[in-house]
Amino acid sequence: MKYPKHEKTVHVMISENNVKKRIDEIAEKIENYYRSKKEDLILIGILKGAFIFIADLCRKIGIPHEIDFMVVSSYRNSMQSYKDVKIVKDLDKDVRRKNVVIVEDVVDSGNTLKKVLDVLQSRDPKSINICTLLNKPSKREAEISIEWIGYSIKDHFVVGYGIDYAQRYRHLPYIGYVY
């Protein structure tokens, strides 16, 4: 897809249909994992990038759960992640003694997620697992464990399906990469 000269060029990496199929599979795995636990489950979406992913994911998980959000900043309208991670909006819900699934759009360096994990672990949840739509293992700096991964991808700057570049391209129904 071409955009006017001032915009980036976007190439389809993962089609809309493939993204939706993979979300169905992830939702089934999460549901199966927590079904027997019969304990409180809360999905924590990392905004803004994960808003479409968590919306589709939560509609597919057929067991009771709550949803809350955090806004965390590390990109500052750039294509490069910074190590100084800032929590812009914290949770509204208490995660104490709850099973938490952090829902992230892209995990690359892991620095942002590590900061979120440290904050949430200090609040005494019963468990914390991570679910990400996209994983970039070649970029990893922080040691983190991801339970559910949609796709592991090469180091491309991706957009679409809620993921942005300078607040643009979130509306694309597929995952694309820009250059």
Residue among 148, 149, 100, 103 nearest 120 (CA): 100
d(CA 73, CA 89): 10
Inter-residue contact 102 to 117 (CB < 8 Å): yes
d(CA 89, CA 47): 9
Whether 68 is a known active-site residue: answer: no
φ/ψ bin of 75: left (φ > 0), alpha (ψ from -120 to 50), beta (otherwise): alpha
Quote the distance between the C-alpha of residue 130 and its chain's center. 9
Phi, psi (5° rounding) for residue 111? -65, -45
List 24, 108, 118, 164, catalytic entry: 108
Place of tokens 């027997």: 36
Question: Which residues participate in catalysis according to the annotation?
Answer: 108
